[in-house]
Structure formats: structure tokens, C-alpha cells
Amino acid sequence: MSDLGTALVFWPATVIMLVTGLYVFITSSMARAGLLLLAALGVEGLIFVALASEFLGFLQLLMMSGEMVIMVFFMVMFMPDPGGLMGMDMTHDKRRSAAVAGAVAVALAVVAVLTDWPARAVGDDAPDVRAIGFEVMGRSMITFLFAAMTILFAMVGGVLLAKAGGRFGIGAPGGRGSRLARRRLMVSLPVVLAAGALLFAIGLCGALGQTNTIMVIMGVELMLGASMLNVVGFLRYSHPDATSGAFFVLVVMTLMAVEATVGFALVISAFRHSRTAEVDDLTELKG
Amino acid sequence: MSGWTLVGVPAVALVGAALVAMLEQLVAGFRPAPSGLARTALATLRQPLRRPETYDNWLFHIAPGLLLTAAVVALATVPWAPGFRGIDFQAGVILFGGALAYVTPAVFMAGWGSGSPLAVVGGFRWLALMLAYAMPVAMVVTAVAAPAGSLRPTDIVEIQHAVPMGLVQPLALALWLPAVVAVCFLPPFDLPQAPSELGGGAFAAYRGLDAALVWLAQRVLLVAVSGMTAALFLSGWHGPVLPPALWMALKTATVAVLILWAGRRLPRMEIDRTLALAWKVANPLAILAIVIAGGLTLGFYR
């Protein structure tokens, strides 16, 4: 994809991603929140495609659909007010979490813009899917097998936890040179990293400021999504031939699934035990 | 992506949907009547839209559009002929699966947004059903892509120039067909609609343009999955004498007729038995299909 094409997809998609990501924590209807999260992470998949990582982008689209739809399912089950009809306040520590998130966003964005990132001349072609395959099946095979075993354990452990009886019972090419770049329309590494920083901050704000466990999990998902966006940015702009970077994104996607599996199992278990999935009420460890 | 992708893909979608509608009438035992079809379409479009009385009613109106978008993107990845292949990505079959995955949220949104109990039940049923049947689709795609050594649909068609993949991997084909019928929510997998149990289910409340879009999207989905079946398993455009595009069209039509005919003959199962079939039979067999594909690739395709 040409630089102009990348810019044309990147800017609107980034705006949509950040706005939908933010609205996840603003809306009170749980079906909306889940579908908005799906929109944010699905649009992130389109950004991956625009940044020349089409395999990762399509995989992101595929994985997030299933995962977020399950998320909706759980939210409708475990929120006290899934339809958002009663106008309950589902937040705590609003100011402090917003302050922390804002500080993190500013810090990350400043680092992203001020650092002198190594820029390399990069072709416009997507990294070869075959090369990613050889990476997964070659050098990184042990790591990937480990990730696969982790998700298997997470699934089995999740089912056991969730069972009624518990476990006992039942560098942009020509970036400076082109005219568009001077007009700041062009996408470059700092821009991608700044978008990642904002998404991360939105996720952080949600994870700290929401009272329901499922919403906290959604915040963590957004933060992981931001980390993937950064890696794809590096892959596009400074290390196009580093298939291990693409591999890392695959591992993070697996990690998101593992996190959701274990998280949901814990929510079911906690709900059985104390009839609530609100973080503020799960205080047993405080003694 | 070529210049006329933007024209060609919607054209294939519209013509394909119209042809599928006529095939439907043919399979049902009527004479296909294009004029009657056009009259029904116009009458549907003239109905006023319905506004459900729920908090989330915008989901209700987005759902048909999302459904149609998913169907058209899936259709765009199908390689029709050496010259005309919609969008030709390196990871095209992943995009096909990715596009089909968005049928799931669309149908859920339709059910949730319309707010009536039976529609919500239809939406939730569909979540469970699609999570179970999307996995065999993804795994069978892997099994078919392995011999070709590529995720590009055109490469997968090229590797079948001698023997169709359906003959080499009959197990994969047998798993693929029911799974893609489930994706199109056609009978016997029309559980989110289930006219006799849920009274129309997730789509019962749709009128006018919304209803027409859902109807169109379902037919485009059928064209897309039939086309992909022809490309992945029936050697796509390869064939003697006739031109490539015609072969592809014939194979697609055959698959579509087979799916529609089976839908009329087979009874709809209960949701729990349908799910048990997917998790206990189809998914383990799909893993077996991947193992078989690995053996075939090492033995014959290197």
C-alpha cells in the first residue's frame, strides 16, 4: 500500500478506534459496550492492514469478533444493569484513574515523539506470510508451543473453576522527502506510537475506573491492543524483516484470549461464591 | 485489487443473489419467476421501517448493514477466474474467515436491538451456534491451505489443477459444508430464525429496507460460501473445454443447489444437539483433518 493509502486509512481508522474505545467506558448498556470494544479492536485490525501487516490484521479481525462477542455474553450475565436502563453509576475513583491515565498518555506520547527512532528504508510490500510461518514453525516454535499449552491449560482450568462444584465436585520510506509528510498528514512511527499511547491510556482509565470485573477485563484488552499496535508500527517503519515481531503479536493475541478465559472463569467462580462481580465487593483478601 | 473490483464485486453479489433466489424457487418445486421476485422486492422496500421501543434500537438498524458488509467482503475474496479475483491478498482465506466472523455480532445485534424476548433468544442461540461452527471453518481452511503452502485463494486453486482438493481431503469437505451452511443461517441451521419455534427469531421485527438488506445479505453469503467451496475444494476455474469463469459459475451453482436442496430435506435439530454435534464431533474431526493434511503435504505436495 502506498504512503498516501496508508495515511487515508490510518487517520480515520485511528479516530474511530479511539472514540469507540473511549465510549466503551461511557455507555451504560452492556451490549453497546461490548460491541463498541469489538469496533475498536476490529478497526485496529484495519490499521494493521494499512501498516502493511495484512496477515496480522485479518487475524485480528477474526479473533476479536469471537472474543468480544463472548465478552458481550458475559457482560449481559454478570452486570447488575445490563440494559443500561436504570442509569447506575458503574465507576469508582473517577478522578484519580483519569489523572493516572492522562499522565501515562502524555508521558508515552512525549517519548514516542521525542525519541529519535531508527528509520530504515522499507518497501511497501506486506511482510511475507510464509516468513511468519517459518518463524512460528522454526526459531519460535518452543515459545509458540508454550503459548498454546498455556491457552489449553487456561481453558481446562477455566472450565474446572467455572464448574458448579468447583474443581473437587461435579522509518518511513521517503518520509521527510515527500510533500505530504511536511504537511503532517503522513503516518510515521511516532504517530502510530502516539495512537497506541492514547489507546493504552483509555484502557488504563477503564481498568482503574470501572467497578465491574468484566469491564476491567475489557480495559486490559484495550491495553493489550495498544501494545500490538506499537509492535505493528515498529514492524512497518523500522524493522520490516523482523518476523519475530509479527510472532510477538500472535503471542499477544493468544495472551488476550488466555486473559479473557481465566478472567471469565474467575468471575463465574466469584459470582457463585459471593453473588457479585463488582470489584469493590470482592474484598475477602483484605481480611 | 484492480480498478473494477469496486464495480465487479457488487455486480457479482447482486446477480448472484438474484440467481440464488431463483434457484430457491426451483428447488422448492416452483417455476422461477423473476417478475414475481421483483414485485416482492419492491413491495418489501415500500414498507416503512420499524423502530423498536428499546434503549439500543440503533443496533437494530446497523445489523443489516454489517451483515451485508461481511457478506460482500467474504464474496470479494473468492477467486472467480484468473483475470477477475476481487481483492487478492496474501492472506485471503484468513480475510474470508474474518469477514464471516462478523455475521455473529450482526445477528446478535439484530436480536438484541429488536428487544422482543424471542428475538433476544434467537440472538443468544446464534452466539452459541456460531462459536461452535466458526472453529471448523477456520481449521478446515488451514487443512486446505497446507498443501498449497499459501493462504492466497488463487494459489490454492492453482495447486488443484490436476486433482480437486475435495477428492484428496473428503473429510475436510464433509466438515466444511455443514459449517458454512451454519454461517449462512440457512436450514437446517436456521436456529436464530427458526420459524416454527421462535416465530422468525432475531429477524422477526424487520420491515422494509432493513428486511430487504437481511434477505439480500443471506443470499450473498450463500454465493460467497458456495464460491469459496468451489475454489477450495472443487478446483475452482480448472476444467476442460469451457472457459474458466463458466466452470467456476457452474461449480458455484452446483454447491448452492446442493445446500438449498439439503436445507429442504434435512430436519432442524434442537440447539443443544446441534451444539453437541459441533463440539464433540466436528471440532475433533477438524483437528484430525489438519493432521491428515499435514501428512498429505509432506507426502505428495512438496
Q: What is the DSSP string of chain A?
A: --HHHHHHHHHHHHHHHHHHHHHHTT---HHHHHHHHHHHHHHHHHHHHHTT-HHHHHHHHHHHHHHHHHHHHHHHHH-SSTT--S----BSSHHHHHHHHHHHHHHHHHHHHHS--------SSPPPHHHHHHHHHTTTHHHHHHHHHHHHHHHHHHHHHHSTTTTT----TTTTTSHHHHTT-S--HHHHHHHHHHHHHHHHHHHHHB-BHHHHHHHHHHHHHHHHHHHHHHHHHT-TT-HHHHHHHHHHHHHHHHHHHHHHHHHHHHHHHHS--BGGG--GGG-
> Other CB atoms closer than 10 Å to residue A179's CB: what's the count?
8
pLDDT score for A20: 93
Task: Give me the total of CB pairs closer than 8 Å, taking one residue from chain A and one from chain B.
Answer: 78
A124 has a pLDDT exceeding 70? no
> Other CB atoms closer than 10 Å to residue B270's CB: what's the count?
10
In angstroms, the separation between the Cα of residue A141 and the nearest Cα of chain B is 17
A165 has a pLDDT exceeding 70? no
Which of the listed ranges A153-167, A258-272, B272-286 does the model predict with the highest average pLDDT? B272-286
Cα nearest neighbour of A60 on chain B: B98
The three three-digit cell numbers of residue A85, written as one number: 436502563
A125 assigned to some structural domain? no
| A70/B131 Cβ within 8 A | yes
Cα nearest neighbour of A29 on chain B: B56
Unique residue bearing C-alpha cell 484513574: A97
pLDDT score for B240: 86
> Residue B247 and residue A142: Cα distance in Å, rounded?
45
With contact defined as beta carbons under 8 Å apart, do B113 and B59 qualify?
yes
Residue B263 corresponds to which amino acid?
Answer: G
A286 assigned to some structural domain? no
The tens digit of pLDDT for each residue in A37-64 reads: 999 999 999 999 888 888 889 999 988 8
Nearest to B94 by CA among B63, B139, B147: B139
**Angle A75-B108-A50 (CA atoms, 0-180°, nearest 5)?**
90
pLDDT score for B69: 94
Structure confidence at residue B204 as a pLDDT band (50, 70, 90):
confident
Q: Find the CB nearest B108 among A42, A69, A85.
A: A69
pLDDT score for B208: 84
The predicted model scores a pTM of 0.86
Helix (H, G, I), strand (E, B) or coil at B190: coil
Q: Which of A147-156, A192-201, B232-241 has the lowest mean pLDDT?
A: A147-156
Cα nearest neighbour of A73 on chain B: B124
Nearest to B176 by CA among B232, B106, B242: B232
Q: Is A55 at the interface with chain B, CB within 8 A?
A: yes
Higher-confidence position of A154 and A99? A99
> Residue B79 and residue B247: Cα distance in Å, rounded?
12
pLDDT score for B228: 94
**Per-window interface: A 262-281 vs B, CB < 8 A:** none
Structure confidence at residue A176 as a pLDDT band (50, 70, 90):
very low
The three three-digit cell numbers of residue B61, written as one number: 438498524
With contact defined as beta carbons under 8 Å apart, do A112 and A120 qualify?
no
Q: Is A84 at the interface with chain B, CB within 8 A?
A: yes
Q: Is A58 at the interface with chain B, CB within 8 A?
A: yes
The tens digit of pLDDT for each residue in B115-168 reads: 788 888 888 888 888 888 888 888 999 899 989 888 889 889 988 888 899 999
Structure confidence at residue A171 as a pLDDT band (50, 70, 90):
very low
Q: Which of A10-19, A133-142, A207-216 has the lowest mean pLDDT?
A: A133-142
pLDDT score for A204: 92
For A98-110, letters b (16+ CB in 10 Å) and e give bebbeebbeebbe
Nearest to A212 by CA among A281, A287, A284: A281
pLDDT score for A172: 41
> Residue A119 and residue A122: Cα distance in Å, rounded?
9
Distances in Å between the Cα of A82 and the Cα atoms of A31, A74, A277 are: 7, 10, 13
Nearest to A61 by CA among B260, B66, B84, B113: B66
Q: Find the CB nearest A129 among B90, B109, B130.
A: B90
pLDDT score for B55: 67
pLDDT (mean) for B67-94: 86
A249 assigned to some structural domain? yes
pLDDT (mean) for A176-191: 62
| A83/B105 Cβ within 8 A | no
| A85/B55 Cβ within 8 A | yes
Cα nearest neighbour of B126 on chain A: A69
Q: Find the CB nearest B102 among A54, A65, A128.
A: A65
**Angle B59-B214-B79 (CA atoms, 0-180°, nearest 5)?**
115
B28 has a pLDDT exceeding 50? yes
**Angle B16-B17-B23 (CA atoms, 0-180°, nearest 5)?**
85
Q: Is B90 at the interface with chain A, CB within 8 A?
A: yes
A166 assigned to some structural domain? yes
Which residue, among B1, B54, B55, would best test binding to A if mutated, counting the most A CBs under 10 Å from its CB? B55
A122 assigned to some structural domain? no
A49 assigned to some structural domain? yes
Helix (H, G, I), strand (E, B) or coil at B32: coil
Rg of chain B in Å (alpha carbons): 19
Unique residue bearing C-alpha cell 489443477: B161
**Angle A202-A203-A205 (CA atoms, 0-180°, nearest 5)?**
65
Q: Which domain holds residue A148?
A: 3-82+94-114+130-281
| A73/B124 Cβ within 8 A | yes
Structure confidence at residue B9 as a pLDDT band (50, 70, 90):
confident
pLDDT (mean) for A76-101: 79
Q: Which of B2-16, B94-108, B284-298 has the lowest mean pLDDT?
A: B2-16
Structure confidence at residue A4 as a pLDDT band (50, 70, 90):
confident
With contact defined as beta carbons under 8 Å apart, do B86 and B9 qualify?
yes
A181 has a pLDDT exceeding 50? no
The tens digit of pLDDT for each residue in B234-284 reads: 988 888 888 888 999 999 999 999 999 998 888 888 888 889 989 999 999
CA dihedral sign of residues A262, A143, A219, A204: positive
pLDDT score for B188: 85
Unique residue bearing C-alpha cell 510490500: A125
Rg of chain A in Å (alpha carbons): 20
Q: What percent of chain B has pLDDT over 70?
A: 97
| Chain A residues with CB-CB distance to B183 below 8 A | none
| A31/B59 Cβ within 8 A | yes
pLDDT (mean) for B96-116: 88
Cα nearest neighbour of A77 on chain B: B124
Nearest to A33 by CA among A1, A6, A68, A65: A68
In angstroms, the separation between the Cα of residue A13 and the nearest Cα of chain B is 17
A87 assigned to some structural domain? no
> Other CB atoms closer than 10 Å to residue A95's CB: what's the count?
8
The tens digit of pLDDT for each residue in A211-250 reads: 888 888 889 999 999 999 998 888 888 777 777 888 888 8
pLDDT (mean) for A143-166: 78
B64 has a pLDDT exceeding 70? yes
pLDDT (mean) for B216-228: 93
Structure confidence at residue A86 as a pLDDT band (50, 70, 90):
confident
Count of structural domains within chain A: 1
A100 has a pLDDT exceeding 80? yes
With contact defined as beta carbons under 8 Å apart, do B239 and B29 qualify?
no
pLDDT score for B250: 93
> Residue A229 and residue A221: Cα distance in Å, rounded?
12
A88 assigned to some structural domain? no
